[in-house]
Structure 1
Amino acid sequence: MTSGPQTITSRDNALLKELRRLAQDNSAYRKQGRLWLEGDHLCRAALQRGMVPTHALFQASYWVTHGREWPGDIGKVVIVDDALFAQLSGLESPGHMGFVLPLPEAAAVDPEAASVVLDGVQDAGNVGAILRSAGAFGFRQVLAIKGTAALWSPKVLRAGMGAHFGLRLVEGLDTVQLQVPILATSSHQGEFLHQARLPWPCAWVMGHEGQGVSAALMNQAAHHVRIIQPGGEESLNVAAAAAICLHASAAARV
């Protein structure tokens, strides 16, 4: 049993100051050892994955209208003045409520797992979308090379919409040593994806939005693959390319 809700009406509240940093600083989760999830959809996705928050923060007006919809086992309930919650949020349109979760323990790389390697993918929206595709198409491990957007940052969590909690995530890597074949996309070399015989399990490398996959990982790749683009565009958005490639791998297994 938890005690009754706490109410925060001062912007100088110590908890609010800590959570403001957590919500607005992409690397604060590493220092604080906890995560900020904002928005009811993301928070419900975390509960469905068995995650247990330490705190649940609600905008005061949202709590009045929707508080009874939430279960009792969501940690310490904190009601925050509407204007203060807007200052806490890192979003243009505040999500009205959020969870604080312990940062999951760092995972070790599984060299035999079907994986997605993020090689300097910097846009949080792209990273979150790729995590969603990885989970949807059976790639349970995502490895982030240094220079990739922080995997547990609020914006990547928001874009991932709960996919994080079903994946093995390893970040801050200098390189990867895997026993599964590495596949790299390229606009200039390799066979077309729809004609390729794709190995399973494998590791797909997705590169920087502008520079693509690094030379080092291109050299490590066992296969280079191109996505057919009859419309004539030079390249695809990396999240779109990832979805196409991961779906192709999943379809090849059926």
Structure 2
Amino acid sequence: MNEPLLITARDNPLLQRIRKIATDAGGYRKAGQVWLEGDHLIGAALNRDLVLDELLFSESAWNERADWRAWVSRARRVVCVPDALFKTLSGLESPARVGALWAVPAAPAIDTAAASVVLDRLQDAGNVGSILRSAAAFGVRQVLAVKGTAALWSPKVLRAGMGAHFGLHLIEGLSPDDLSVLDVPLLATSSHGGLLLGEATLPIPCAWVLGHEGQGVDAALMGRCAHTVRIPQPGGEESLNVAAAAAVCFFAATVGPKRQ
């Protein structure tokens, strides 16, 4: 097994590029790459048979974790950096000791018949990542993000998604008009009216529309929805967190009353 390339200069161009991607939510758009920090994200990517552009180890990780060395054949280049230098690449309080650069795939065309989730200007990266994770778990394979939604491939969304990105079709920067091509009905979540989840017959497949955390679904987009759907809340709370609501809706679509 070939030894990795050793980089010790803080201002090395590769390390500078990683810092930019790791600290700028939209940095991947210009770079065309995402920074996968930590063994979980890298392992999730490799489980999907993806090829990494750059695989980076801290010196201690390279020397201590022989199992990680099996990954080197899945990367175009392998790099090792001193531990103190590796920490400068991290946006985490407790930095990982391994990371990778991977080329962001080109956005696919909208699959007009696919079970989907529409993200309408969701701002919180943690919410967005959690929704992607739930979508992947419950078979909602297409994510359509309207302009103003947190960047889908940003470091925070990637971490919250826990590897879900690699099994989803992700399309961002859409307008409500772009959704007119969908052949599946749009269902908007609502806290106060509409079909009662768990009792109503749902059109399956569908596209779940999740709105801005404070403002809800945009009026123009709401006008495209076939139904609103509410989640019963016998505890009396006004509403659920949008990520929690998404998980409930995705699950209900797999087990509740539905139309084939």
Which string of whole-angstrom CA distances, capped at 9 and with x for unpartnered residues, describes residues 64-121 of structure 1? 1114433231321111221221111112221211111111012111111110000011
User: How far does residue 148 in structure 1 lie from its aligned partner after superposition?
Assistant: 0.5
Q: Which position in structure 2 is the counterpart of 1:201?
A: 205
- Whichever residue aligns with residue 139 of structure 1, its letter is V
Q: Which deviates the most, 174-183 or 141-150?
A: 174-183
Q: Does the residue aligned with 1:194 lie in a helix, a strand or coil?
A: coil
Q: Deviations over 1:31-70 (max 9, x none)?
A: 1111111110111011001111011111221221114433
Q: Which residue of 1 aligns with 2:80?
A: 79
Residues 57-72 of structure 1 correspond to what in structure 2 (within 5 A)? 57-71=56-70, 72=72
Retained in 2: the 8 A contact 1:55–1:74?
no
The amino acid across from 2:214 in the alignment is G
Contact residue 107 and residue 169 of structure 2 kept, 8 A:
no
Give 1:118's aligned residue: 119
Instruction: Kindly indicate whether the alpha-carbon contact (under 8 Å) linking 1:117 and 1:205 is maintained by their aligned counterparts in 2.
Output: yes
Q: Does 1:191 align with 2:195?
A: yes
Unaligned runs of 5+ in 2: none
TM-score by length of 2: 0.93
- 1: CA distance between counterparts of 2:115 and 2:248? 16
1:49 and 2:53 are equivalent in the alignment: no
Residues 166-202 of structure 1 deviation map (CA, whole Å, 9 limit, x = unaligned)? 1111000011221101001111221211111111110
Aligned residues: 253
Larger displacement relative to structure 2 (7-16 or 113-122): 7-16
Alignment map for 1:161-200 (pairs within 5 Å): 161-175=162-176, 176-177=179-180, 178-200=182-204
Letter in 2 for 1:121: L
Deviations 1:192-224 (A, max 9, x none): 111111111100011111111111122111111
> Which residue identity does 2:164 align to in structure 1?
A
What is aligned with 2:102? 101
How far residue 3 of structure 1 moved from its aligned partner, in angstroms, is 5.1
Distance 2:200 2:218 in 1: 22
What is the deviation of 1:248? 0.5
Provide TM-score, normalisation by structure 1.
0.95
CA separation in 1, counterparts of 2:67 and 2:248? 41
Q: Distance in 1 between matches of 2:237 and 2:255?
A: 25
Partner of 1:220: 224
8 Å Cα contact 2:121-2:211 kept in structure 1: yes
**Match status 1:15 vs 2:14:** yes
The answer to whether the 8 A contact 1:113-1:201 is kept is yes
Instruction: Give the structure 2 partner of residue 247 of structure 1.
Output: 251
Q: Does 1:32 align with 2:36?
A: no
Contact 2:194 2:227 in 1 (8 A): yes
> Are the counterparts in 1 of residues 62 and 68 from structure 2 also a CA contact under 8 Å?
no
Instruction: Indicate the residue corresponding to 2:234 in structure 1.
Output: 230
With 87-96 and 29-38 compared, the bigger mean Cα shift is at 87-96
CA distance in structure 2 between the aligned counterparts of 1:61 and 1:14, rounded to whole angstroms: 22
For 2:162, the aligned partner's letter is: M
Residue type matched to 1:25 in 2? Answer: D
Identical positions, percent = 61
CA distance in 2 between counterparts of 1:213 and 1:105 reads 27
Would you identify which runs of 4 or more consecutive aligned residues in structure 1 move more than 4 Å?
Answer: none
- Whole-Å separation in 1 of the counterparts to 2:69 and 2:205: 40
